Chain A
């Protein structure tokens, strides 16, 4: 506990990400988002604001959606973290990923990881059936390209046909 790299004090952190345990020495101020992106090369999780306002950094912690930019890495220890890289089954896309592809639920792709992680969490949340209710549940995930209508279509498609796989 407590080593010094270039005179910066670090703490040892153990994170379980996508069912793999990773050991890190981190500045204690490191967010889970920066741990993923800058220390683990898991860049699928995006930084869009660093303030919990855009949803691009959404990951699952113990199965629930969490903003990784507002989560310190040290506080995520001992929990199961899932990122976008852990969603597909090898080469087999998750039905939600396939639905985003088929419905063109993205353009630039930068909010997409967060949208998909929120959409997957939503499948297990008490969200109503209507498009409007899904829109409400997804409103923490901003998309500047304006793919919203297609994202809702993708989610509703999955809810209708793959609910059992959630």
Chain B
């Protein structure tokens, strides 16, 4: 970013300020989607299938409809037919699916997984709606479902679609077989990861309200513009007639990135009953209909010379998808870029199961793929009797080994060094079971962390008002990620207006278009747009001052004007200047507006852009009980410019905690006969609780990257999650000598 008026920072960016929306959250005043007061509200409750595959034979809503307080029961018998879907089916499912994802919208009698939405009850109250939902009787013609990943594995087929529409599904460089033949040491192992469920604390929720032909959705989404597009296409109405609002989201983690069935069903129901409808999923309904992380079976083959130099690396990942949609867990993308191995192959395959369609879940692909890769590197380090960090440094990629492009910046060496020092890696004795604390086995393990820098087009408005205050508008989202806060900081520095005089508006399709808040790209995308919009407003303000004969800054050099604390002054002469209020009052009292439509340039053609880090785990294993207690997790990360060390540290701690859950607890279990989600609640689906989570320490490696985006930040939402499962698995091996290649690492696998 070069500009004649590049602000001399007023210090907002980089300061560890408290969240600007924090007061609303600690007082309970922040309103989430299900909490918007809407008059004349009716309540929707979804009825789900109780078989995994087959056809609805008979669905009897009579008893439910008779219940006092029930307004309607929508089933495949009476639900409005959607022309968009009928057209899609007529044309042989060619072209893009209007719903985006393959949804269950009561258009036919087919059942594809256990828990699929098959009816919707609309009633005067939650109590009545839930009771009525239990009275809907359904009989089926049952077909044999495919549930078990292990037995279905022979049916795996290669994924041929580009991943995320961008990355090839398979890659090859060099000559793998030659590399294996040349190796002194070979490793050929299979790692498996289970289905996992996002389980944000806030359930998916939608309030749908029609005003004539205009629809408003208050939806728990991390993608307001995406939901608008999907709903408009599905209902065959212009996008301008759909407004989606999502001011606060109670966690999302990728699961709230798509418009799932309930969003469309709420809109349909509200139109049918001519009243606003609130539809909140139950916790149980979060398992299946709204995505999750799929199973993976990952085959890793490594070859290395005696000195640790990798000669061959193959990573094939087979992941589960549903029978109605292909979704690939991109588990080998990190493998392609992480180590400088000349002979490498990666591939993705799919197995179709009768389960809900999987989706993005925090660090999709990288989290599961790096469990395999970084475990395999650890296994190799023992084969070679080599320090795991030394092995990684031996194969350090000085440029992207897949594309050959230079890194926009890479500070992984420093991350290894800083992490190792803060963790105390030097005290580790390499032999498994060699470290003890009383009768407890002590394990120390590490892994690499990485996540790509992604950026999409984003727009923002910055408006400076005559009272000296400013409003920033962008249709992005704050999922707890700190978006409100860091955008306030970026705007404060660009505008020279104090933090307290800036308000950021997010989460509304009435605001400038922004991408989904996912893939760690909000800072690079929306942050850049806000910075550029604020800079545009700043330019206008300065232009106004230097061309206004009554301004003390009249005819000043444009580049010599500074703005700080809401005051324009001449560089080197702070007494010469005036406040924004004075300037605007004299010039008609009109607001100054800056707009930016920001998009990535050609930097991705020139550079390979990734954030990197290192993660270290120390844990204790009870040799008699197999229980694992994590004592310390230490991460060191280089992710470009850190806009707010306080929220950045929190986000990384959160990612590390999520990774700890993946390592030790998380497992969505399906009954192998019925396909029913067995542990579909948050008592049986274990996530880390206070007592599980040790001291987590996060450190930053200072990194300046002028290529990634105008603000030099790489994004932090996912990288904290990557590598954690491997670091813990590696520490478990170090403690016990047992190599667990199947997540989660539960005590039964250690006895």
Q: List residues of chain A with CB under 8 Å of any chain B CB.
A: 5-9, 27, 29-30, 34, 37-38, 41-51, 53-54, 56, 83-85, 87-88, 93, 97-98, 100-102, 104, 106-113, 116, 132, 134-136, 138-152
Contacts and interface: CB of A to CB of B under 8 A. Distances in A.
Contacts of A54: 201, 682
A166 to B, nearest CB: 17
Interface in B647-670: 647, 649-651, 653-658
Contact of B201 (A5, A46, A84): A46
B658 A48 contact: no
Contact of A110 (B201, B481, B649): B201
Nearest to B32: A110
A109 B480 CA distance: 7
Nearest to A143: B201
B27 A50 contact: no
Given A101-B19, A151-B690, A108 B27 contact: no
26 contacts: A6-B68, A7-B69, A27-B127, A44-B28, A45-B28, A46-B250, A47-B280, A53-B283, A83-B28, A100-B22, A101-B23, A107-B480, A107-B481, A107-B650, A109-B21, A109-B24, A109-B248, A111-B250, A112-B26, A140-B689, A141-B690, A145-B480, A146-B656, A147-B654, A148-B688, A149-B653
Contacts of A47: 34, 203, 280
Contacts of B588: none
B693 A48 contact: no
B704 interface: no
A149 B656 CA distance: 11
Interface residues of B, number: 66
A123 to B, nearest CB: 16
Nearest first, the 4 closest Cβ-Cβ pairs linking A and B are: A44-B28, A110-B250, A108-B480, A146-B657
Contact of B650 (A7, A37, A49, A104): A104
Interface in B686-703: 687-691, 693, 695-696
Contact of B690 (A37, A104, A112, A136): A136
Contact of B126 (A5, A34, A104): A34
B30 interface: yes
Contact of B654 (A37, A98, A146): A146
B201 A104 contact: no
A83 B29 CA distance: 12
B693 A104 contact: no
B557 interface: no
Given A108-B250, A135-B693, 19 more contacts: A7-B68, A51-B283, A85-B27, A93-B26, A97-B27, A104-B646, A106-B22, A106-B25, A106-B480, A107-B480, A109-B480, A112-B25, A139-B689, A143-B201, A144-B251, A145-B480, A145-B654, A146-B693, A148-B688
B652 to A, nearest CB: 9
B26 A106 contact: yes
B127 A147 contact: no
Name which of A112, A136, A151 has the most chain B CB atoms within 10 A of its CB.
A112
Nearest to B200: A144
B657 to A, nearest CB: 3
Contacts of B4: none
B482 interface: yes
A5 B124 contact: yes
A104 B647 contact: yes
B127 A146 contact: no
Given A108-B202, A109-B480, A143-B201, A50 B282 contact: yes
B439 to A, nearest CB: 19
A160 B695 CA distance: 19
B283 A48 contact: yes
B481 A113 contact: no
A151 to B, nearest CB: 7
A102 to B, nearest CB: 6
Nearest to A99: B26
B554 to A, nearest CB: 43
A108 B682 contact: no
B18 interface: yes
Contacts of A132: 691
Interface of B: 18-19, 21-32, 34-35, 37, 68-69, 124-128, 131, 198-203, 248-253, 280, 282-283, 479-482, 646-647, 649-651, 653-658, 681-683, 687-691, 693, 695-696
Contacts of B681: 49, 51, 53
A93 B28 CA distance: 12
B716 to A, nearest CB: 12
A109 B696 contact: no
Nearest to A109: B25
Contacts of A138: 690
A46 B121 CA distance: 23
Given A87-B27, A101-B19, A148-B693, A8 B35 contact: no
A34 B691 CA distance: 29
Nearest to A30: B127
Nearest to B693: A148
Given A84-B28, A109-B480, A149-B696, A102 B657 contact: no
Contact of A144 (B19, B124, B201): B201
Contacts of B28: 42-45, 83-85, 113
Contacts of B126: 34, 38
A8 B128 contact: yes
Contacts of B249: 108
A46 B200 CA distance: 13
A144 B253 contact: yes
B201 A27 contact: no
A127 to B, nearest CB: 12
A131 to B, nearest CB: 8
A149 to B, nearest CB: 5
Contacts of A44: 27-29
Contacts of B651: 107
Contacts of B34: 37, 47
Given A48-B201, A49-B283, A108-B479, A93 B657 contact: no
Given A6-B69, A108-B479, A109-B480, A88 B646 contact: no
Contacts of A111: 201, 250
A54 B689 CA distance: 10
B121 to A, nearest CB: 14
A130 B23 CA distance: 28
B306 to A, nearest CB: 41
B618 to A, nearest CB: 15
Name which of B68, B480, B651 has the most chain A CB atoms within 10 A of its CB.
B480
Contacts of A108: 200-202, 248-252, 479-480
B522 to A, nearest CB: 14
Given A8-B124, A108-B202, A146 B27 contact: no
Nearest to B485: A104
Contacts of A116: 26
A93 B125 contact: no
Nearest to A56: B201
Name which of B199, B248, B251 has the most chain A CB atoms within 10 A of its CB.
B251
Contacts of A46: 32, 201-202, 250
A49 B283 CA distance: 5
A140 B682 CA distance: 11
Contact of B683 (A6, A7, A51, A136): A51
Contacts of B480: 106-110, 145
A17 B658 CA distance: 36
Contacts of A6: 68-69, 124
Contacts of B689: 139-140, 142, 148
Contacts of B127: 27, 29-30, 34
A48 B654 contact: no
A49 B34 CA distance: 14
B523 to A, nearest CB: 15
B691 A139 contact: yes
Contacts of A48: 201-203, 250, 283, 682
Name which of B283, B687, B689 has the most chain A CB atoms within 10 A of its CB.
B689
B124 A147 contact: no
A42 B655 CA distance: 31
